[in-house]
Amino acid sequence: MHTLSVAGLQVELTKADNLRLLESEIRGAKRRYPWLDMIVLPELASFGPGVDRAQRMPGPAERHYCAIARDLGIWLVPGSLYEIRRGAIFNTAPVIDPRGRVVARYRKMFPWRPYEDGVASGTGFVTVDIPRVGRIGISICYDGWFPEVSRSLAWLGAEVVIHPTLTNSIDRDVELAIARTNAASNQCYFVDVNVAGEIGNGRSIVCGPGGEVIHEAGQGRDVFAVRLDLDYLRACRKTGWHGLGQPLKSFRDSDARFPCYGPNRRASPPLERLGALRLADHRSGRTANKGLRTRRAR
């Protein structure tokens, strides 16, 4: 039987240095659930949002997590950290193995622009093989809104997508639907761990390969542990969830050519007409509200 036991730490955090609190939570989770293989923290959990705490990698925070992983003998995805690299800043999630070695670093492909200003985009997909278990893939927060990211990870063989998140906005409910969709359309487990407290609104979610909800957290602190059955997932990919759709095979076998992809990618005049990517201002807000009032009056 192939299983991956994962704990998500939806912890109440602030914009301060959270390293000591997070270490306590990690160690506490391992004591409570000694059978854990992996622990996952939310996006930017260590210091909160703000590029002023960016570090080089390897750096002090990453080495701190490496020591914890080695001491506990676990796989650790410590959310993400702002990383200084080649004169740019990336939102980077390290993957640390039970020996305390960084085996991969994933750099967020889609920073939440225009809000995540000054953060560069990563360009490489990251998958990691867990010996005798299976393959995981990594994405971060806003990446989930782009189906190409999860589809590419599945194409590369990922069976579990680990997805650290930091969301505190009204669209969290939409993100839960997106998480379920990513899981169902790619027949994978999707583990989305959000922050709680001052800087996040919680509601972490774990979804199965049919889009089923395995666990949905509330808005406060929640340390949740789940056993992910990869044999079950492989059966779903082979014969369909409950014997139904087999989307990965259909995608694999399709001869479709998509106008937005590949070397023959076409320009999109309708998207170009949307204008530059920038913050909405009070004028755009008035326009939207006026439209709503007009529709209601009809």
Q: What is the CATH number of the domain that holds 139?
A: 3.60.110.10
Rg, C-alpha atoms of the chain: 20
Element (H, E) at 191: strand 189-193
**Is 273 within the bounds of a domain?**
no
**Is 236 within the bounds of a domain?**
yes
**Is 269 within the bounds of a domain?**
no
Q: Is the pTM of this model over 0.85?
A: yes
* 228's tokens: 């992910």
User: CA 150, 155, 161, 162 torsion: positive or negative?
Assistant: negative
pLDDT in tens, the chain (298 residues): 899 999 999 999 999 999 999 999 999 999 999 999 999 999 999 999 999 999 999 999 999 999 999 999 999 999 999 999 999 999 999 999 999 999 999 999 999 999 998 999 999 999 999 999 999 999 999 999 999 999 999 999 999 999 999 999 999 999 999 999 999 999 999 999 999 999 999 999 999 999 999 999 999 999 999 999 999 999 999 999 999 999 999 999 999 999 999 888 889 999 999 999 999 887 765 544 444 333 333 4
What's CA 24's distance to the chain center, in Å? 23
**Is 283 within the bounds of a domain?**
no
**Is 290 within the bounds of a domain?**
no
**Could you give the number of structural domains in the chain?**
1
**Is 88 within the bounds of a domain?**
yes
Answer yes or no: are the C-beta atoms of 213 and 179 closer than 8 Å.
Answer: no
**Is 203 within the bounds of a domain?**
yes
**Is 288 within the bounds of a domain?**
no
Domain that holds residue 243: 3-253
